[in-house]
A and B are shown apart, each in its own frame.
Chain A
């Protein structure tokens, strides 16, 4: 064994000498994986767009376990990657611990607030975007019942739900909104089968438009909605293409822009808050050739009007996370 140790040690020294420090940006994807067709994939798209436009290189890792969060942060920061972007609120504890140890590294956390001098916290006004798709849902619904399927039961998702319900009621005061959460563990982000079951349950309650804010679980929601002949609304990425003509619209949360901006700013990314809302196209609803047949011009006009009103401050969308209650 000792001989083996020596050999391994020797090999190790050689490799270590060869690795230089680099100032490339880095991104850490959460457990859902970078091809979740939703949140992480949106982050991936942003990183790829930056790579394409600048020809630069970036480091990445898809986490396999919780214990790797701190390890990945330290590994990237330790080798000089800057900035280090992480997609997901689950990084809060790890980042709080790591950030002070690498004062020269800029960290960007998406969907969560971590208060440190070298951390940029990017948060989205999901309630504003959800309000708009809630309006769209109520206007295009024939039964007057619209559904909401959330991922893990956390305040962030309640924020989506609350905005959605407000929008639906604004468009049709008699609208009924049925809500379900997929689960209370992180597995709820990646359970398309249960997403499909919940969709069927909501259909039986009369829903004919469902909005999925559930990461990978949403794939099952959209699929079932398409199979059952009702409309669905995608989330985070533009998911209209997944079932052309059957996805009403997608509540886009431009995580890709957040990543792209952070990568572009490089080491100069400004620490502090970065709120992305309707005013700076951080959130919105998707219109493209895939939903042209289902999203009517009247609806679009109404949505644009509401959007302008929200930006101007004439419509105040209640934020669930401000007081943990929803007026609906």
Chain B
């Protein structure tokens, strides 16, 4: 089974994939008459060259960690949760209802309640497809994607016709109170004497995301529940034989997944916008699939993949800002990375494996 050392599996192969993706992107940029080297410089400088850029990169990263972990939990149980988008939206809705109805004296009190609420709403939204899949055998991909549309319409209704709407033509909610604004990196780092951009949206939720990575690792590999989820994912028959209830595991795994997706709202809605905006999820639920795929459903891999996609998002908007590269092309670059790292993984894996086998034979 282990034809390659672990480092090759986790680092080498994604790196080769990435290089190919960047090479192809470079060709595309060159084809429209721009300088690919300047493009990569713009992206790197824009994403990591200033605290402002880092702040945006980490903000996107935080989103992708949550949705990436969400997809990974379900994936470990052999369930494909494509409904992250809807679960994120519901998390945002729950959070907004909470913050607009309850007066919190301080963000530190609001934060734990907000975390629980948004996770609960996300988990609740995932519960229905999970229940249908576990009890009625309906296909989880179909139901979760349908629930995305329902969530979008629900959010649209709430932001256009309900009491949470802010007066005016824009579909967004009333602003949250000053007291529940989460500290951003500037507020966190200033007491330590470190200068960080005041306006970058990266905030304390980043650390919640990192904590979720650690928690994911602990639960998945060091608890009975994690073992049951992985068993169920590898072989349903064997898991049942070992006493695992498929109904229970399906529902629990999907609800953890939905809860993690819902947590993204803490970053995007409470941390950044400080109000609920229609469409605030911005496809992060779907990007989570690519992140989980690239991170091989492992929290450390997901963290790295999320940083990469954060870089692509922030660097991509810098490309449109400063090089006049149209937004459609930025999507092409992102798509190439997803295609190469996610879908065409085996294209690189197989030759590399063969190479390792060849060397091993030579060594023997």
Decide if A92 is an interface residue (CB 8 Å cutoff). yes
With contacts A59-B321, A62-B320, A185-B278 known, what are 16 further pairs, Cβ within 8 A?
Answer: A8-B44, A9-B49, A12-B44, A12-B48, A15-B42, A15-B44, A16-B49, A60-B324, A62-B326, A65-B282, A67-B201, A68-B317, A72-B317, A184-B171, A185-B156, A185-B171
Interface string of B154-171 (1 = CB under 8 A from A): 001000110000001111
Decide if B85 is an interface residue (CB 8 Å cutoff). no
In the complex, how many angstroms separate the beta carbon of B30 from the nearest chain A beta carbon?
A: 19
Q: Report whether over half of chain B's contact residues are helix, strand or loop; otherwise say mixed.
A: helix
> Known contacts being A8-B48, A11-B41, is A64 close to B317, with CB within 8 Å?
yes
Q: Are A67 and B170 in contact (CB under 8 A)?
A: no
Decide if A70 is an interface residue (CB 8 Å cutoff). yes
Contact among A12, A59, A66 with B280 in the assembled complex (CB-CB below 8 Å):
A66
Interface centre among B41, B42, B268, B331, by most chain A C-beta atoms within 10 angstroms, is B41
Give the nearest-CB partner of A59 in chain B. B321
Q: Are A186 and B199 in contact (CB under 8 A)?
A: no
Instruction: Show 12 residue pairs from A and B whose CB-CB distance is below 8 angstroms, ordered by the A residue.
Output: A5-B48, A11-B41, A11-B45, A14-B41, A16-B50, A66-B273, A66-B280, A67-B273, A76-B321, A101-B199, A153-B160, A186-B278
- Cα A74 to Cα B317 with chains together (Å): 13
Decide if A292 is an interface residue (CB 8 Å cutoff). no
Q: Are A66 and B199 in contact (CB under 8 A)?
A: no
Q: Identify the A interface with B (CB < 8 A).
A: 1, 5, 8-9, 11-16, 19, 33, 59-68, 70-72, 74-76, 78, 89-90, 92-93, 101, 152-156, 184-186
- Cα A15 to Cα B199 with chains together (Å): 22
Contacts of B317 in A (CB 8 A): 61, 64, 68, 71-72
Decide if B56 is an interface residue (CB 8 Å cutoff). yes
- Cα A60 to Cα B325 with chains together (Å): 10
- Cα A15 to Cα B318 with chains together (Å): 13
In the complex, how many angstroms separate the beta carbon of A70 from the nearest chain B beta carbon?
A: 7
Q: Are A62 and B327 in contact (CB under 8 A)?
A: yes
Decide if B105 is an interface residue (CB 8 Å cutoff). no
Q: Are A186 and B168 in contact (CB under 8 A)?
A: no
Those 8 A-B pairs whose CB atoms lie nearest each other, nearest first:
A12-B49, A154-B169, A15-B45, A184-B160, A12-B45, A65-B282, A185-B156, A15-B41
Q: Are A156 and B169 in contact (CB under 8 A)?
A: yes
Q: Report whether over half of chain A's contact residues are helix, strand or loop; otherwise say mixed.
A: helix
Decide if B277 is an interface residue (CB 8 Å cutoff). yes
Contact among A9, A16, A74, A89 with B170 in the assembled complex (CB-CB below 8 Å):
A89
Interface string of B44-65 (1 = CB under 8 A from A): 1100111010001000000000
In the complex, how many angstroms separate the beta carbon of A311 from the nearest chain B beta carbon?
A: 28
Interface size on B, residues (CB 8 A): 39
Contacts of A13 in B (CB 8 A): 49
Contacts of A19 in B (CB 8 A): 322
In the complex, how many angstroms separate the beta carbon of A316 from the nearest chain B beta carbon?
A: 24
Q: Are B171 and A186 in contact (CB under 8 A)?
A: yes
In the complex, how many angstroms separate the beta carbon of B126 from the nearest chain A beta carbon?
A: 24
- Cα A71 to Cα B48 with chains together (Å): 15
Contacts of B272 in A (CB 8 A): 67
- Cα A303 to Cα B56 with chains together (Å): 52
Q: List CB contacts (< 8 Å) of B268-297 with chain A.
A: 268, 272-273, 275, 277-280, 282
Contacts of B41 in A (CB 8 A): 11, 14-15
Contacts of B156 in A (CB 8 A): 184-185
Give the nearest-CB partner of A31 in chain B. B279
Give the nearest-CB partner of B307 in chain A. A1
Interface string of B126-166 (1 = CB under 8 A from A): 00000000000000000000000000000010001100000
Q: List CB contacts (< 8 Å) of B234-290 with chain A.
A: 268, 272-273, 275, 277-280, 282
Give the nearest-CB partner of A152 in chain B. B169
- Cα A297 to Cα B155 with chains together (Å): 49
Q: Are A61 and B44 in contact (CB under 8 A)?
A: no
Interface string of B83-103 (1 = CB under 8 A from A): 000000000000000000000
Contacts of B320 in A (CB 8 A): 61-62, 64
In the complex, how many angstroms separate the beta carbon of A217 from the nearest chain B beta carbon?
A: 16
Contacts of B45 in A (CB 8 A): 11-12, 15-16
Contacts of A59 in B (CB 8 A): 321-322
